[in-house]
Amino acid sequence: MKDKYHLSREENVFLAKKRWPDSIYSGMQMENRNVTFPQTLTILEGINVPGVTVSDIQAILNMRDAWRFLIDTLDDQLDISYLCKIQERVAFREALTWGELRSGTIGISGTNYIPPIPDSQKVEEELAAILKADASQTQKSLQVFCWAARKQLFWDGNKRTAMLAANKILIEAGAGILFVTDQYMLEFSALLTGFYEFENAYELQDFLYNKAIFGMDNRIGFVVGGIHSDSVTNTFNPTPHNRAHISPRTAAWLKSERQAKGYTQKSLASAIDVATSTLANIEQGQRKGSDEVWQKIEMELTKR
């Protein structure tokens, strides 16, 4: 299993920061949180969202803080102590305890598998062995995710912590980032449950490798599994020359023109008298937008 992407550290950090909302939303979906992507994005922008529980808001902000910590500590050694620091942020005020290994027995819904209580020395040795193996950084990343998820080292936040640890390895190596989109969440959940039960990581790792690793190329936008997509969330800010070649009335065009003209999603939505969530949905490609809304967008963006 080779590395799919070969980015500089700067490029991969930029990629990770641009895709934070997607990764955070993915973490919420892995935990079956009742929150939409526009709601997640709005909460991350510091705007109150009616109808979202305090617990879900806390979980979103916790993931934000965990991502910030990861980016700030990329050069730190990935060991059990580091995993505890990630989980401390992921599960802050959400778990029985946070920042320390689980000390009691738990079960996993949908399986008969009972993960053993983690022994700190043993799991430290297991993690070190994965990281020292003669394998690509992508392979190590996926192995760390599977290992940490199945070990259930903590009372809560295990999948999110495992995903962040995997991303640390990828970003350090310039090998992209890892998260699961809505499109593949059911497939991911089924494979993960099977992995918990039977400890056969091949299908799960193959799925993650082909459908959940994101990179970028030298064009506008990001790449998923080798397929270029201009319409996914948080594409790069195009240069004026490249912007001219983006088709109008597309998610990529809307985002590039909005940013080029100095609008935030909130300010543009206010200017055309629509909800910020409506504009966010259009910009993320989650809805097409009516002719009336697009006309308002085009009229507003041509003013500057």
Q: One fold for both 9-219 and 240-301?
A: no
On whether the 9-219 domain is CATH 1.10.3290.10, my answer is: yes
Region 254-270: mean pLDDT is 84
What CATH architecture does domain 240-301 belong to? Orthogonal Bundle (1.10)
| DSSP letter (8 states) at residue 107 | -
pLDDT tens-place string over residues 38-94:
999 999 988 889 999 999 999 999 999 999 999 999 999 999 999 999 999 999 999
Question: What are the residue boundaries of the structural domains of the chain, listed by start?
Answer: 9-219, 240-301
Q: Which two tokens stand for residue 264?
A: 């935030």
Which strand (E) or helix (H) includes residue 279? helix 276-283
User: Which residue spans within the chain are E strands per DSSP?
Assistant: 177-178, 213-216, 222-224, 227-229
The string of pLDDT tens digits covering residues 122-174 is 999 999 999 999 999 999 999 999 999 999 999 999 999 999 999 999 999 99
Long-range contacts of 198-201 (CB under 8 A, 24+ apart): 199/150, 201/142, 201/143, 201/146
pLDDT value, residue 280: 87
Q: Alpha-carbon distance 43 to 266, whole Å?
A: 12
Instruction: Write down the pTM of the prediction.
Output: 0.74
- Residue 264 phi/psi, 5-degree rounding, is -90, 170
Query: Which pair of tokens denotes residue 118?
Result: 């983690």
